[in-house]
Amino acid sequence: MLSQQNMSTNATVDHCKTPNLVTYKALSWLMIGQFVLGLPLNLSVLYIFIFRFKFWKNKSIFLFNIVVADFLLVACLPAKAYHYQHGQRRSLNSVVCKTMLFMLFLNRGASIGFLITLSIDRYFNVVHLGRRNFVKVLKKTPQISIVIWLLLLPLTIPTMVKTFECCNSHGREVETYFHDVTDTFREVVFFTQIIIPFIILVYCTVRIVNRLRKKTVGEKTKLRRAVCVVMSVVVVFSICFLPCTIARAVLLAFRLNKWQAAEDVAVQVYDSLMVLSYMDCLLDPLVYCFCNSGFKDAYITTFCPTFLQQKLLNADFGMRNGAMTTTTTSGAKTIMLPVMEK
């Protein structure tokens, strides 16, 4: 009985070790790079949202929540890189392991939830213009963001269950019924929180593009901006979320069929694509710029050199004039207004 227990423990420890140390050391340096770039970028975005843009006055509560979600991710990167440097796919400390996985799941769920909400808002503003937009109503209620975070908790709590082996146990030989059900629920959450929002995103994008084709020339500039919003979210999904989802499905297939050699390769591919998914903390600021030109102008005037400010603001002002129905004489001041939310 004791020897069997030792064998189970050894198998678990071996599974927690990296299949290829060189691969994981390279991934650790990639995460360090993401942290070095992501920390100042997200700090600067947070500064603009709070002190310059005042998000609570400009109906940008959802954008601010994406910033908070990105901070959860950036905070996890140094610890994750440390474990990879030392040949472990996760922390040997159970509390750290569960906390890290919880934070990563929460970040992923929050990012996806608020990004999709923004896309749906653009969809209603363009395709169903004139009808009551429930998303626009929600944007005026900060408490809704708290509700969204609370709704994410039941989907994230299973990552904290103590029975997870190496935070990644589905398909292992030693399983109890509770263990198997909990792991299955986590896998269902992992896939549905990517697949269902992506279907919604594709639908919104197709409808907005079709609407753009039917509009007259005078109305197209505003619609093009709406297309840029949803397309930027598509880019984030395509780079950060879809590849690791496909790799996860392949990994589970190999594991359940007990193809150990193939699983060792699939684990490295999956972990590599998961590291790639952490790029959303660098790509999300692009969404902020497309969603709200007022935020972009505040960021440019705060952090860009003077000579570059003029070029960027003048180019943007020219595009906005195409979207206006009347000509204004106070162009310099108009640039600073968040016209995207109109």
Give the model confidence (pLDDT) of 97-121 as tens digits: 778 888 888 888 888 888 888 888 7
Q: What pLDDT score was predicted for residue 323?
A: 40
Residue 301 shares a structural domain with residue 185: no
Which residues 6+ apart lie within 8 Å of 325 measured at CB? 218
Q: What pLDDT score was predicted for residue 9?
A: 39
Q: What pLDDT score was predicted for residue 215?
A: 66
Residue 119 shares a structural domain with residue 135: yes
The dihedral region occupied by 116, where left means phi > 0, alpha psi between -120 and 50, and beta the remainder, is: alpha
Residue 154 shares a structural domain with residue 198: yes
Residue 269 shares a structural domain with residue 136: yes
The mean per-residue pLDDT over the stretch 237-242 comes to 88
Q: Of 246, 262, 290, at which residue does a domain stop? A: 290
Residue 261 shares a structural domain with residue 176: yes
Q: What pLDDT score was predicted for residue 81?
A: 92
Residue 124 shares a structural domain with residue 258: yes
Residue 311 CA to residue 229 CA, distance in Å, equals: 22
The predicted-structure confidence for 33-69, as pLDDT tens digits, reads as follows: 999 999 999 999 988 888 888 777 767 788 888 888 8
> Which residue in the block uniquely carries the two structure tokens 């472990």?
88
Residue 37 CA to residue 33 CA, distance in Å, equals: 6
The predicted-structure confidence for 64-88, as pLDDT tens digits, reads as follows: 888 888 888 898 899 999 999 988 8
Residue 150 shares a structural domain with residue 266: yes
Dihedral angle of Cα 167, 172, 174, 176, to the nearest 10 degrees:
70
Residue 311 shares a structural domain with residue 255: no
Q: What pLDDT score was predicted for residue 3?
A: 39
Q: How far is CA 254 from the centre of its chain?
A: 27
Residue 118 CA to residue 97 CA, distance in Å, equals: 32
3-class DSSP state of 17: strand
The mean per-residue pLDDT over the stretch 250-261 comes to 85
Residue 187 shares a structural domain with residue 272: yes
Q: Determine phi and psi for 201, rounding to 5 degrees.
A: -65, -45
The mean per-residue pLDDT over the stretch 177-205 comes to 81
Residue 308 shares a structural domain with residue 215: no
Residue 191 shares a structural domain with residue 102: yes
Smallest Cα–Cα separation from 156: which of 200, 114, 73, 98? 98
- Is there a domain that residue 157 lies in? yes
- Is there a domain that residue 321 lies in? yes
- The amino acid present at 45, given as its one-letter code, is V
For 216, counting Cβ atoms within 10 Å of its Cβ (0-12 exposed, 13-18 middle, 19+ buried), the class is: exposed
Domains held by the chain: number:
2
The DSSP result for 310-321, as a single string, is HHHHHHHHHHHH
CATH assignment of the domain containing 113: 1.20.1070.10
Beta carbons of 296 and 289 less than 8 angstroms apart: yes
Residue 342 shares a structural domain with residue 280: no
- Is there a domain that residue 113 lies in? yes
- Is there a domain that residue 104 lies in? yes
- Is there a domain that residue 243 lies in? yes
Q: Which domain holds residue 301?
A: 292-342
- Is there a domain that residue 78 lies in? no
The predicted-structure confidence for 272-328, as pLDDT tens digits, reads as follows: 999 999 998 888 888 887 777 788 888 888 887 777 777 766 655 444 444 433 333
Residue 337 has pLDDT above 80, yes or no: no
Q: What does the mean pLDDT of the chain come to? A: 75
- Is there a domain that residue 80 lies in? no
Count of beta carbons in the 10 Å neighbourhood of residue 115: 28
